[in-house]
Chain A
Amino acid sequence: MEKVKKKIGSFSFWNWVIASIIFRLILIYFPKNLNLSSRPEVSTPLTSFRRLAEGYWLKQSSMSSYAGSMYHGSPLLLSLLGPLTVKRIEGQPNHLLYSLVSVIADVVSAMLIRATGQNLRLAYLRSLESLDLVKQIDVSEFLCSGDIAALIYLCNPFTIVACVGLSTSPIENMAVILCLYGACSRLIPLAAFGWVIATHLSLYPAILIIPVIFLLGCGPDSPPRKLFLQRHQQKEVLNQSKLPPGFSWRPIIHFAFWAFLWSVYVLVLCGISLKQFGGLWEMFKSTYGFILTVEDLSPNIGVLWYFFAEVFEFFRNFFLIVFHVNILFMILPLAIRLRHRPCYLAFVYVAICSMLKSYPSVGDSALYLGLLGWFVNELADMQFSLFLFCGYVGVSLLSPVMHNLWIWRGTGNANFYFTTAMVYACLQIVLVVEGVSAMLNHDRKLRILITGKPQDAKS
């Protein structure tokens, strides 16, 4: 019975993957009706396809690709993807090659998510075994979290829209997932490469260095180390082999070395391509500077554009610092509390970044919703799941309508659209808060199973 179930599961997994790819291809062949690449939810100043094409055009006519404040991405993307923006095949949709690249990026990310999820599931089962909890928790009930996460990532309408809308976020997401995959399967050069590229492309993944260090230092997600010690104290035998390994510095030094190597490599490449146009300083100013100073105030699904459109000029710098430090403030407490679950920590960081980012798009939500799929077993009794689901559906439908009411019909105003942006931010906050508390509750449940008595809720 079990085997049959599993067989059906894997069979339908590949079916779903193929179906989602076909669905993308269908959408790519009818791009005119949707006009997704000009929607503010899909293309931000950083990920817009039109800006990429403009940057490539400037580069081809031997000007600085950052001239005119149109392009704000990496020069490497220009060299890699730029040629695809102008290449046309007769009788095919205009940007077929570029769209195929994003489809491939999506599929690769999904496969990496699947591999990582399987990794995480194995680690979880192993730790349950070493805690002798296999009997209490029905392991056969466990879902294949890797498959589920991959399918969530592939079939999520947000991912599909970002892929068909020709934004560069599938590639940025792939870099982030590559980094996490490398760290989980202890491929240190790969992890370093993913981290460097992700940071280079969109800056915010830089904070993923903390979960990556935890991952490399003490391995993938497991219950707190304290529980293992308690368990073994109960049994009065301290079996060292069953304890999870302690923190080891060797892989981290390796990681630092490789990260340094890759970043030097990337910077040298960028420097070569920007030699005549102001060099690296110009690049930092118009990519990282553009992200950090929130220069472009065109509406998007985030909350910063409205705020900085309203704020007085002389408070601007202060609030810029406040908003960016907001992200940094959350890093340390979360890292301390969730240090035994580095992958979950990475999910929380990604979610927080996509909420407080200066130019968020649905592609970022697609990433953290996909990562959420890794923890279906742990988060099985999360609260408000129906509310969150309905909220996401409602907001993603309401937001284009409000935008239309404001821009095209003229009967609404900016507040209408901003309302949906605020509701969206609230939903993300509820998701993160409930997710973290559900994970802590899960750890608490494990401890109760071990010690056999509920403790006070101090920890």
Chain B
Amino acid sequence: MAETKEKSLSDEKPKPRVRPIVRLGIFLISHSFHVSVVCCTAGVLALFLLPVLAKNTYISENALMPGSASPMLSNQHVSDGNRLVKDLTNPNSKSSETGIESHKIIAQYMLDLGAEVSFHKFHPQMNQFHPLHFFSSPDSGKIQENYSCSSYGINTVGIIRAPRGDGKEAIVLVTPYNALKSGFGEALSLGIAYSVFSLLTQVTWLAKDIIWLVADSQYGEYAAVAAWLREYQTPKFSSLSAPNAEMCPDVNNLFELKGHSISGSKFSNSFRRAGTMAAALVLKVRDQNEQFEDTISIYAEASNGQMPNLDLINVVNYLAVHRQGLRVNVEKLWSLLNSSWLKSLGEIFESLAKVAKSLYPKWKFGIPATEYVEGTATLASSLYYQALGVPTGPHGAFRDYQVDAITLEISPKFSLDKVWRNDILLRGGRLIEGVIRSVNNLLEKFHQSFFLYLLTSPSKFVSVGVYMIAFALLIAPLPMVAASLYVDANSSSKRSKGDSSTPSAITDTDEHSIAIRSWSPTTSFMIWVLLSILSLLTLNSVLASPLACAKATQEKEWALVKSVTISSVFIGLGLMSVINFATAEIGALLMVPMCLLAQPLKLDVRAGTLRSFCRMICNLVLGHIAFPPAAFFLLKGMLDGFGNANVGDFWMWVESLWAWNSATYLFIGMVQLPCWVLCISILFHTC
């Protein structure tokens, strides 16, 4: 990118002896219109070609060796798991108000297996906004003052020490469990985890410690796991923060009871640790299911579009499909599956591939149309969830500490007989056992396979080298157009280099200035819009008026503003593509056409030709679409139907981005909105 930029930027009059690279740059700049049309179309086309270009996944790390050993999980372990499920679903265990009883049962079961057990108490943390969270290390320094004894959660942690290991590495198994209102699915997931756990206490091949975390999900699954991880990775040494939870009598009660009943056992009050985590698996079982076969869904997106190493997904996919006969699912945008235009696009690609194959039999790149549609739906959802920057499950907490983690959600075909339950326990347990055994074989942490990829199906992926091409094509015209505008404006009037970017600094200030809690989302959204318009207009009249006095500079001023806008969009998009690719891609789709086409409406009206009329219409349409709330409504309306689209939804959506520290929030506030304002100011420029 930098190279093309370097090539394209040369604001020099042609001299007799010009270096070829400069000549190429001059050529590109002088034909920037054609170049940008070609590049943008190619960029959009390449985006739609991605499902065709997706490669099959393969297991890159040899040490993993998935499925090379036959599963050891037997019916004995399954019946152990069944026992736990029965005890937990027993109505007697739910007598206590805080659900401590069920935690005690779980702890007792773990102790009986000979594992080390401890309880971890935590307070659900309010979400705080750390705008530069992704710039720095995960920190422990968030100490809250107002603890109350009524709101705390208890994680039960069981640790098996590996007979072959040195205690420096560990594998984590997480099962979210809400003791107060647990469904049958959660109990079943505990049953699966327990059967695996009971097997792992007996095996000899274990080289990494196993941590089983029963996360108390009454304040959300993510919060519980995040609290435990924070305690695990960044211990607090201050004496002030430690005794907070211990002051609550209820918790102390719990410990005392334990201490009495099992003296001299491996139960401990203090926080227990094992080694560094190699991988983490979050296991869930869904209560209801509409499907006709046992499926397993994989959720992998962590905060800011980070993904776990592809090898982890590969191992799960390989074992589930080839060993346990489960169907593997990744998220899809279901509404895209029925769209006819996508189907016809897929058919076009298919027929093109057929033609190519008839021309030269070794060209085999086509995929069937239905597969294309499915791939696109998966890719779209993959892009969307990465772009949101909000983790799709408790596994997201692990990624902040560089631990690869995924959530597996088993959705069995629903029936209540015991055979079926045993079957799910056996297959689910064997899958988990296989994955743990593979990860156990690892010598180093996951590093062989990709971290930057998009999934188009559980067994197909698009790597960074491929999807970056689409993005690079899309934003390649930006520097050229910026340079050509700058050259034009500079050569005609050298003096008009005023600070034309005054509005750019404004929008993000009023974004933060509003901290409205009590109003409904719709009102707060409206207030935000009004306040921003007001502050923009006042600032515009205060700051931008000195520029208006010189008539001569006016004519080219919009070109300079456009040049500045385009360069800042280019820098912003380039930066965002490194932080979170999906956001940058979606942002580029919205903003690049708008920025490239923007031209004062007055000029177009004055010209009065068909071409300028078309451009005017395009400008108006794009100006509406690229406004982030409008884009949000449009997307939501297309996916869910326009009936239930609400003005307040956007506010809620942005608030959730804020609460999850998403970089997308910053992108919208600091790149997209200011550039949209600049483009609008170009459109309504008085020249």
Q: Which A residues lie at the B interface, using CB under 8 A?
A: 33, 35, 383-384, 386-387, 390-391, 393-394, 397-398, 400-402, 404-405, 408-411, 423, 426
A383-B11, A387-B9, A411-B451 given; A402·B2 CB < 8 A: no
Contacts of A410 in B (CB 8 A): 402, 451
The answer, among B10, B12, B135, for a CB contact under 8 Å with A400, is B135
Please state if B571 and A393 are interface contacts (CB–CB under 8 Å).
yes
**Nearest CB in chain B: distance from A426 CB, A:** 8
Q: Which residues of B sit under 8 angstroms from A426, Cβ to Cβ? A: 2
B12 nearest CB neighbor, chain A only = A383
* Inter-chain contacts of A404 with B (CB < 8 A): 134-136
CB contact under 8 A between A386 and B567, given known A398-B575, A405-B578, A409-B402: yes
Please give the distance in Å from B652's CB to the nearest CB on chain A: 27
A401:B578 contact, CB within 8 angstroms: yes
Which residues on the A side are within 8 Å of B578 (C-beta)? Answer: 398, 401-402, 405
Interface residues of B (CB under 8 A from A): 2, 5-6, 9-12, 132, 134-138, 306, 402, 451-452, 479, 482-483, 486, 563, 567, 570-571, 574-575, 578-579
B452 close to A411 (CB less than 8 A): yes
Bound Cα distance A85, B236 (Å): 26
Known: A390-B567, A408-B137, A411-B451. A398 touches B486 (CB 8 A): no
B483 to A411, Cβ gap below 8 A?
A: no
What's the Cα separation between A70 and B578 when bound, in Å? 34
The answer to whether A384 and B575 touch across the interface, beta carbons within 8 angstroms, is no
CA distance A393 to B479 in the complex (A): 14
Which residues of A sit under 8 angstroms from B134, Cβ to Cβ?
404, 408-409
Are A387 and B5 closer than 8 Å at their CB atoms?
Answer: yes
Interface contact A386-B482, CB-CB below 8 Å: yes
The reply to whether A390 and B571 contact each other, CB–CB distance below 8 Å, is yes
Q: Verify B574–A394 contact, CB threshold 8 A.
A: yes
Q: What are the 7 A-B residue pairs with the smallest beta carbon separation, nearest first?
A: A411-B451, A387-B9, A410-B402, A394-B571, A390-B567, A386-B486, A401-B578
* Min CB gap A57→B, angstroms: 21
Complex Cα spacing A389 to B666, Å: 23
The contact sample of 26 A-B pairs, CB cut-off 8 A, is A35-B136, A383-B11, A384-B9, A384-B10, A386-B482, A386-B486, A386-B563, A386-B567, A387-B5, A387-B483, A391-B2, A393-B571, A394-B571, A397-B571, A401-B579, A404-B134, A404-B136, A408-B134, A408-B136, A408-B402, A409-B134, A409-B306, A410-B402, A410-B451, A411-B306, A411-B451
Question: Contacts A35-B136, A386-B11, A404-B134; is A397 near B567 (CB within 8 Å)?
Answer: no
Which residue of chain A is the closest to B5 with respect to CB atoms?
A: A387
Give A405 to B457 CA distance when docked, in angstroms.
Answer: 26
Q: Which residue of B lies closest to A419 (CB)?
A: B2
CA distance A402 to B579 in the complex (A): 8
Please tell me if the beta carbons of A383 and B567 are within 8 angstroms of each other in the complex.
no
Question: Within the assembled complex, what's the spacing in Å between the Cα atoms of A426 and B2?
Answer: 10
With a cutoff of 8 Å between Cβ atoms, the chain B residues found around residue A394 in the complex are 571, 574-575
How far in angstroms is the closest Cβ of chain B from A148?
Answer: 14
Looking at chain B's contact residues, the main secondary structure is: helix
Q: Which residue of B lies closest to A385 (CB)?
A: B11
Known: A383-B11, A387-B5, A408-B136. 19 other contacts (CB 8 A): A35-B136, A384-B9, A384-B10, A384-B11, A386-B9, A390-B479, A390-B567, A390-B570, A394-B575, A397-B575, A398-B578, A401-B135, A401-B575, A402-B578, A404-B134, A404-B136, A410-B402, A410-B451, A423-B2
Closest chain A residue to B132, Cβ basis: A33
Complex CA gap A35/B130 in Å reads 13
Q: Which residues of B contact A409 (CB under 8 A)?
A: 134, 306, 402
Interface centre among B135, B452, B482 (most CB of A within 10 A): B135
Nearest Cβ on chain A to B490's Cβ, whole angstroms: 9
Question: Which chain A residues border B9 with CB–CB below 8 Å?
Answer: 384, 386-387
Bound CA span A394–B567, Å: 10
Chain B residue numbers with a CB within 8 Å of A405 are 578
Q: Which residue of B lies closest to A381 (CB)?
A: B494
A402 partner residues in chain B, CB cutoff 8 A: 578
Q: How far is the CB of B395 from chain A (nearest CB, A)?
A: 15
Residues of A within 8 A of B137 (CB): 408
CB distance from B500 to the nearest CB of A (A): 13
Q: What's the Cα separation between A402 and B574 when bound, in Å?
A: 12
Separation of A402 and B571 alpha carbons in the complex (Å): 14
Considering the complex, give the chain B residue whose CB is closest to the CB of A384.
B9
Q: Closest chain A residue to B482 by CB distance?
A: A386
Q: Closest CB-CB distance, A277 to chain B, in whole Å? A: 34
Contacts of A400 in B (CB 8 A): 135
Give chain A nearest CB distance to B468 CB in angstroms.
13
Contacts of A387 in B (CB 8 A): 5-6, 9, 483
Nearest residue, chain B, Cβ from A402:
B578
Query: A94 to chain B: closest CB distance in Å?
Result: 15
B138 contact set on A, CB distance < 8 A: 408
A423 shortest CB reach to chain B, Å: 6
Question: With a CB–CB cut-off of 8 A, which chain A residues contact B567?
Answer: 386, 390
User: What distance in Å separates the Cβ of B22 from its nearest Cβ neighbour in chain A?
Assistant: 9
- The residue on B at minimum CB distance from A405 is B578
Could you tell me the distance between the alpha carbons of A386 and B570 in the complex, rounded to whole angstroms? Answer: 13
A457 closest partner in B (C-beta): B17
The chain A residue with its CB closest to the CB of B446 is A410
Residues of A within 8 A of B135 (CB): 400-401, 404
CB distance from B496 to the nearest CB of A (A): 14
A residues near B132, Cβ cutoff 8 Å? 33
- Which residue of the partner chain B has the closest CB to A430? B6
B302 to A, closest residue via Cβ? A409
Please give the distance in Å from B495's CB to the nearest CB on chain A. Answer: 10
Bound Cα distance from A383 to B486, whole angstroms: 12
Question: Taking CB as reference atom, which chain A residue is nearest B9?
Answer: A387
Shortest CB–CB separation between residue A438 and chain B, in angstroms? Answer: 12
Closest to B17 in A: A457
Given contacts A404-B135, A408-B137, contact A383 B10 (CB under 8 A): yes
Report the separation of the CA atoms of residues A401 and B578 in the bound assembly, to the nearest whole angstrom.
Answer: 7
- Give every chain B residue within 8 A of A393 (Cβ-Cβ): 571
CA distance A400 to B134 in the complex (A): 10
The complex places the Cα of A404 from the Cα of B663 at a distance, in Å, of 13
Q: Shortest CB–CB separation between residue B34 and chain A, in angstroms?
A: 22
In the complex, what residues of A have CB within 8 A of residue B574's CB? 394, 398
Enumerate chain B residues within 8 angstroms of A408, measured Cβ to Cβ: 134, 136-138, 402
CB distance from B311 to the nearest CB of A (A): 14
- Which residue on chain A has the smallest CB distance to residue B663? A401
Q: In the bound complex, how far is the Cα of B138 from the Cα of A455, in angstroms?
A: 64
| Chain A, Cβ-Cβ closest to B137 | A408
Q: Which residues of A contact B6 (CB under 8 A)?
A: 387
Q: Which of A35, A386, A394 has the most CB of B within 10 A?
A: A386
In the complex, which residue of chain A has the Cβ closest to the Cβ of B308?
Answer: A411
Tell me, in angstroms, the Cα distance from A404 to B482 when the chains sit together.
29
Q: How many angstroms from the CA of A89 to the CA of B452 in the assembled complex?
A: 48
Nearest A-chain residue to B571, judged by Cβ: A394
Q: Write out the residue numbers on chain A whose beta carbons fall within 8 Å of the beta carbon of B479.
A: 390
Most buried by A among B2, B132, B570: B2
> How distant is the Cα of A387 from the Cα of B479 in the complex, in angstroms?
9
Please indicate the chain A residues that have their CB under 8 angstroms from the CB of B402 in the complex. 408-410
Please give the distance in Å from B247's CB to the nearest CB on chain A.
28
| Most A Cβ at <10 Å: residue of B10, B134, B136, B402 | B136
Q: Which chain A residue has the least Cβ–Cβ distance from B490?
A: A386
Q: Please, how many angstroms separate the alpha-carbon atoms of A400 and B306 in the complex?
A: 17
Instruction: State the Cβ distance, A150 to closest chain B Cβ, in Å.
Output: 19
How close is B556's CB to chain A, nearest CB, in angstroms? 15
Q: In the assembly, what is the distance between CA of A393 and CA of B136, in Å?
A: 20
A35: B residues at CB distance < 8 A: 136
Q: In the bound complex, how far is the Cα of B452 from the Cα of A397, in angstroms?
A: 21
Give Cα distance in the complex from A426 to B135, angstroms.
25
A391 to B3, CA, bound (A): 12
Q: Considering the chains assembled together, what is the distance between the CA atoms of A33 and B486 in angstroms?
A: 37
Query: A393 CA to B486 CA in the complex, in Å?
Result: 17
Docked complex Cα distance between A426 and B6 (Å): 10
CA distance A33 to B142 in the complex (A): 12
CB neighbours (8 Å) of B10 from chain A are 383-384
Contact of A386 among B12, B483, B579 (CB under 8 A): B483
